[in-house]
Structure 1
Amino acid sequence: MQPPFAATGTFPTGKASQYLQQLCKHFAHKIEVRYDPTSAEAALPTGPCIMAAGDDLLTIGVTAPDAEGLARAKAIVDDHLARFAHREDFTTMDWTDHPAG
């Protein structure tokens, strides 16, 4: 069995907690989500999504069973976050792919 693919994205912002909560409230309409102001877990269709909000940094980790799923997971996060962070000229998170685990 092939190990899952993983990536971690970061977005420097003073509104990390706000964006984390907006993402989770939006995702909760379709998928299972657990969150508080500084951390979250969302069951994306591609695999688990783990979020953390610091004072000035939003960090999101995604996993997927294959490279295509990983690209989809990153696109889901980027597309939704772009709706909330458009005033900060957000386009995509700064993603780093890495082995899952």
Structure 2
Amino acid sequence: MRSVASVPTAHASRYLQQLCKHWSHKMDVAFDAEEGRIDFPNGTRMLLTAADDALTVTLEVPDGEDAGRMQQVVADHLDRFAFREAPLPFEWRPG
């Protein structure tokens, strides 16, 4: 299952980098200031793209995994980094 959320924020690049650094200790991660990829142990892949006004989050969740739970994990972690603007609005749509 693939789902996408465009999260409005002026700090997309900062949050992308914080999230990738946070998970780089336990997962396969690649990122720069504008794009990131995180591969979770359950086979889920998260792709991040930072623009001036939004962070686009794409989740690719394999069959048999709980997509809703993975969406919530991502939203919870981003809200921790964005505590000044939290809760960030996540409107997941099919990708």
Higher share in helix: 1
CA drift at 1:24: 0.3
1:34 aligned onto 2:34: no
Query: 1:33-83: per-residue Cα shift (whole Å, max 9, x none)?
Result: 000000011002341111000011100100112375211221121111010
Output the aligned Cα RMSD. 1.6
What is the aligned counterpart of 1:13 among 9, 14, 29?
9
1:71 aligned onto 2:54: no
What is the aligned partner in structure 2 of residue 62 from structure 1? 59
1:94 aligned onto 2:79: no
Instruction: Supply the distance in 2 between the matched residues of 1:86 and 1:67 (Cα, whole angstroms).
Output: 32
Runs of 4+ in 1 over 4 A off after TM superposition: none
TM-score when normalising by structure 1 = 0.84
Q: Please list every run of 5 or more consecutive structure 1 residues that lacks an aligned counterpart in the other structure.
A: none
TM-score when normalising by structure 2 = 0.89
Higher share in strand: 1
Instruction: Supply the distance in 2 between the matched residues of 1:28 and 1:22 (Cα, whole angstroms).
Output: 10
Using the aligned pairs only, state the percent identity: 38
What is the aligned counterpart of 1:53 among 37, 50, 55?
50
How many residue pairs match? The answer is 94
What is the aligned counterpart of 2:79 among 72, 82, 89?
82
Q: Please list every run of 5 or more consecutive structure 2 residues that lacks an aligned counterpart in the other structure.
A: none
